[in-house]
């Protein structure tokens, strides 16, 4: 199993550009989440999904969109990038039902918005 | 709404001494509690979790954590620190009634000196 994979590893954007951060998992996990990590602020939940076709907002959803058309994939879209979105983004997945407690994290995407 | 606090940005311990990394939480229902570790330029790795049962939970790499309901705390401990334990540690909480919405603390940097 590859686990949770994220692409790209690093990206530079100009203000106003759009892009999609890719996340995929091959563990048949129902639950997937996106976090951003900023110095001194830990990980903040952006959006999450409890299954294909179901998404919900986390702590800091503004400026980001998600969709979950398949169990495996959970892309994060930045519609119009802003410097405040410079961060490291982590995708995570976990089982559903009574086994969803342990999350598996991807290696992260480092995003710089100029 | 659930929340978690890690009151110490950094903890410094000499190798061989016991270590404690503090965490307090707030949830409306029963808490599910977690500790994760992050090494430089890596994603988060699961250490241990408390769902129910014994208040003392044992996890990976010799770490353990004690759940204290009256103090709403879940401190991470290790009897004898190693230099290789130096990393960033995150406490996280999920309300038992809120599937998948796991909230992380701001992180504590643990530094073990030889």
Contact A31 B100 (CB under 8 A): yes
Residue B95: is its pLDDT beyond 80?
A: no
Query: Residue A73 carries which DSSP code?
Result: B
Residue B107: is its pLDDT beyond 90?
A: yes
Distance from CA of B34 to the nearest CA of A (A): 8
Mutate to test the interface with B, among A42, A49, A71, A87 (most CBs of B within 10 A): A42
Contact A102 B106 (CB under 8 A): no
Q: pLDDT digit string (tens) for B7-56?
A: 999 999 999 999 999 999 998 888 889 999 999 878 889 999 898 888 99
The residues facing A76 across adjacent strands are A21, A66
- The residues of chain A scoring below 70 in pLDDT are 96-101
H or E, element range at A47: strand A42-51
Burial status of residue B20 (CB atoms within 10 A of its CB: 0-12, 13-18, 19 or more): middle
What is the percentage of chain B residues whose pLDDT exceeds 70? 96
Instruction: Provide the pLDDT for residue A97.
Output: 55
Instruction: Provide the pLDDT for residue B99.
Output: 60
Closest alpha carbon within chain B to A100: B100
State the alpha helices, DSSP H only, in chain B.
Answer: none
Instruction: Provide the pLDDT for residue B100.
Output: 61
Instruction: Provide the pLDDT for residue B1.
Output: 75
- Tell me what the mean pLDDT of segment B51-80 comes to: 93
């Amino acid at each position: 199993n590859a686990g949770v994979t994220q692409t790209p590893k690093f990206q530079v954007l100009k203000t106003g550009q759009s892009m999609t951060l890719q996340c995929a998992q091959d563990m048949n996990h129902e639950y997937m989440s996106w976090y951003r990590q900023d110095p001194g602020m830990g990980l903040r939940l952006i959006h999450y999904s409890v299954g294909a076709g179901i998404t919900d907002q986390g702590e800091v959803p503004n400026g980001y969109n998600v969709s979950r058309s398949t169990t495996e994939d959970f892309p994060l879209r930045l519609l119009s990038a802003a410097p405040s979105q410079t961060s490291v983004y982590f995708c995570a997945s976990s089982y559903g039902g009574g086994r969803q407690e342990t999350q598996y994290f991807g290696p992260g995407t480092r995003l710089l918005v100029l | 709404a659930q929340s978690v606090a890690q009151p110490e940005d950094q903890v410094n311990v000499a190798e061989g001494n016991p270590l404690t990394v503090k965490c307090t939480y707030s949830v409306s229902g029963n808490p599910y509690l977690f500790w994760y570790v992050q090494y430089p330029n890596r994603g988060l790795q699961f250490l241990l979790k408390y769902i129910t049962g014994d208040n003392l939970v044992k996890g990976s790499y010799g770490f353990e954590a004690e759940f204290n309901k009256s103090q709403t705390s879940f401190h991470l401990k290790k009897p004898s620190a190693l230099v290789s334990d130096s990393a960033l540690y995150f406490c996280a909480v999920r309300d038992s009634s809120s599937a998948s919405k796991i909230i992380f603390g701001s992180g504590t940097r643990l530094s073990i000196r030889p």
